[in-house]
Amino acid sequence: MKELGKTRLCLGLQIEHFSSGVLVHQSNYIEKILKRFYMDKAHPLSSPMVVRSLEVDKDSFRPHESDEELLGPEVPYLSAIGALMYLANCTRPDIAFLCQPTCKIQISSPTRRHWNCVKHIFRYLRGTSDMGLFYSRGVKLNLQGYADAGFLYDPHKARSQTGYVFTCGNTVVSWKSVKQTMVATSSNHSEVLAIHEASRECVWLRNMIEHIQESCGLSSIKDSPTILYEDNAACIAQLSEGFIKGDRTKHISPKFFYADELQKNGEIDVKQIRSSDNLADLFTKALPTTTFKRLTYGIGLRKLKDIASKET
């Protein structure tokens, strides 16, 4: 039988093979959408972050006001959002945090201000079109998780932001940035909700990895717990004690202490980490450019030209 060779393209994802690892990117798709939305000649940006204000009247993502003109059908706002979400879900977790508020804007009433936020992300992609997820060879494939919450990130509905990321071999394999569905009464409360969501994802990832390892005859992941890093010391202390109906936790549903049960079963181990080293910060808050670049590097995002230059 004739060998098919190495995979180069799969479902729109470009796969580059190097001696040091594999890079998965979507540079062709990014160039395509930049031309589609007339942003291929735009000035590139080094960061997609848009700082939000806790003052409702000054927030860039606030709903349209009575004196603002709505965008007409000639502006493809929904198509642009769909294109960005596809990137954020496949190979560009660095824009996931910014895609979330732009998608939550009332789709029936976007304004020029909202469209400028979308173009801000396109300008960042303009300068990082060849960036993708790099999976190195010869590294230990241990699963690690990071969880974080952005307290009251949405000033309009008093909602906090949940963010988590899981890495395997120092490169991200699962991530999420989403607004919490309930009002957190404190930063500690919001962190408990974030760890709950991360622990649920951790169970699914462990089951999937366990199935793959059993099929390949490898050692089981069940032999050791998955470390889940969190930067809130009070939250970690509460989870270690489990649900106690006291003044501090009686308003929190017992189901959100699911992580404590997983710790007792030896499936996860929640440990404290410095906030500056928490990779999940990338999914919960607007960061300075230097911090943003450091964390994107930490989750395994690399530029194709940088890897190719090292190979030569």
Angle at 187 between CA 85 and CA 246, to 5 degrees: 130
Burial class (CB in 10 A: 0-12, 13-18, 19+), 272: middle
Q: Which of 193, 197, 257, 270 is nearest to 227 (CA)?
A: 270
Class of domain 139-273: alpha beta
152: left (phi over 0), alpha (psi -120 to 50) or beta: left
The pLDDT assigned to 73 comes to 76
Report the residue count for the chain. Answer: 312
Residues 100, 225: Cα–Cα separation, whole Å: 31
Domains of the chain, by residue range, sit at 9-132, 139-273
pLDDT of residue 60: 66
Residue ranges of the chain with per-residue pLDDT less than 70: 1-4, 52-67, 103-108, 243-248
Pinpoint the alpha helices (H) of the chain. Answer: 27-36, 77-90, 96-104, 112-127, 187-216, 233-241, 258-264, 289-298, 304-311
Query: What does the pLDDT look like over 201-232, one tens digit per residue?
Result: 999 999 998 888 888 877 777 778 999 999 99
pLDDT of residue 158: 81
Read off the tokens for 231: 């930067």
